[in-house]
Structure 1
Amino acid sequence: MSDPILFTLAAFALLAAPGPTNTLLATAGAARGGLSEWRLVLAAVTAYGVAIAGYRLVLAPFIAAMPAVGTTLKIAVALYLAWLAIRLWRSTTSLSRTSAGAREVFVATLLNPKGFVAALTLLPSGPDLPAYLAAFAVVVAAASTGWLLIGKGIAASVGERHGSLIPRVASLALLGFVGTLAASALG
């Protein structure tokens, strides 16, 4: 995609859509107050950068040569997200202890299929690639910040009395993504 405005809109639409990373960011925003979690935004930006480089340089050619690798990767991502969902579900005693840290956001983002879509369909090749990567990083930061604030707003609206519901809902959302990935891998 070589039009900068169209690229920015498409990148924002992709990154603002609900997904594993955004679920974890919203949960962290609910637990710890939104903008104070700049480490999570940095983790998401860094993970997308690593994922895009890995997809473009290594995985895309490898998957093209051996399609079973793509299926195996989808199953591995689904298993990781299932583990994360179980962890969120079981630890509802304290919202601040259930939310994801930078490591979980980094891994979930690294494995997020949105990175693959960005690497192989959104980002152009050629001399303009560094500028598009920088723009993509800004969009990742904006979308991540937005999800932290959404989480903060949800926590404010449900209050402490129902705060334990937030990780449970996040857990169910992650399981929905697990189902989608598993269906994609098996079907």
Structure 2
Amino acid sequence: MGATPAEIDAAGTGRQKRFRNGMFSPMGTAAFLFAIWGLLLTPGPTNTLLALSGASVGLGRSLRLMPAELAAYLLVTVPLATAGADFLAGAPLAAVAVRLAAAGWIAYLAMRLWRLPAPGQAAGEVTLARVFTTTLLNPKALIIGLTLLPRGSEPDFLPHLALFAGSVLAVATIWAGGGALLKRGDGAPRLLYRRAAACWLAFLAAALVGAAIRA
């Protein structure tokens, strides 16, 4: 005789609780940090902008961009961790729309980076608004909010959110600092980096469009 719907629901709830209790135990916190750092360190549109800023204006002046990145990440991940899964389950096209919007914005950034600045125009075009918008549309925020952070009602939510925020700032410093190493050379390496960054962003935009089509 098959299990009743109530028994199936109870079993599923039990598995979810056991998973979360294991994931967010002290050992689970280490796994959480490992996953967060692995994801944040991966080259992406926001990291590309931070490295470009470091190469253009140095690490010190790039630090002002990091609060914008953190604010955008929190603006996405906190609502997703509290109610995002239920919303996306009822609106399957929402994730597709986010991917397409992100692809459009990243393609725009790629074109801006590829074009050479006019004579007398500053080479570094990384602004607070661009970092904020790019991070807001960054698919990493969806992954973190929906799969890595605990649910907003769980007691581990705030500690893990604080760890996530600190990780964002630390990784941003690493990327901007890496870009700042290029600032010590002449203009040719920085121009090469701009073109390489533009090509990488174009690839990311195409990958997002492909993912949206397959969804």
- Alpha-carbon separation, structure 1, partners of 2:121 and 2:195: 10
1:105 aligns with 2:135: no
Matching of residue 159 in structure 1 with residue 186 in structure 2: yes
CA-to-partner distance for each residue in 1:62-90, whole Å, 9 max, x for gaps?
32112122112111110011111111111
Q: What is the TM-score of this pair, normalised by structure 2?
A: 0.80
Q: Partners in 1 of 2:68 and 2:174 — Cα distance?
A: 15
AA matched with 2:103: A
* Cα distance between partner residues in 2 of 1:71 and 1:57: 20
Amino acid in the other structure paired with 1:27: L
Deviation at 1:96, TM superposition (A): 4.2
- 1:37 deviation in Å? 1.6
Superposition CA RMSD, Å:
1.8
**Alignment partner, residue 205 of structure 2:** 178
Report the alpha carbon displacement of residue 33 of structure 1 after superposing the two structures with TM.
0.5
Determine the C-alpha separation between the residues in 2 that align with 1:161 and 1:95. Answer: 17
- TM superposition shift of 1:45: 1.1
Q: Structure 1 runs of 4+ off > 6 angstroms? A: none
Matches within 5 A, 1:33-44: 33-44=58-69
Q: Is the 8 A contact 2:81 2:149 kept in 1?
A: no
Task: Give the whole-Å Cα distance in 2 for the aligned partners of 1:171 and 1:92.
Answer: 14
Matched, 1:13 2:42: no
Identical counterparts, % of pairs: 35
Larger radius of gyration: 2
**Unmatched segments (≥5 aa) in structure 1:** none
Does 1:78 find its partner at 2:106? Answer: no
Q: Which of the pair has the greater relative contact order for Cα pairs under 8 Å at 6+ separation?
A: 1
- The counterpart of 1:120, out of the listed 134, 146, 149, is 146
In the alignment, the residues of structure 2 paired with residue 90 and residue 79 of structure 1 have an alpha-carbon distance, to the nearest angstrom, of 17
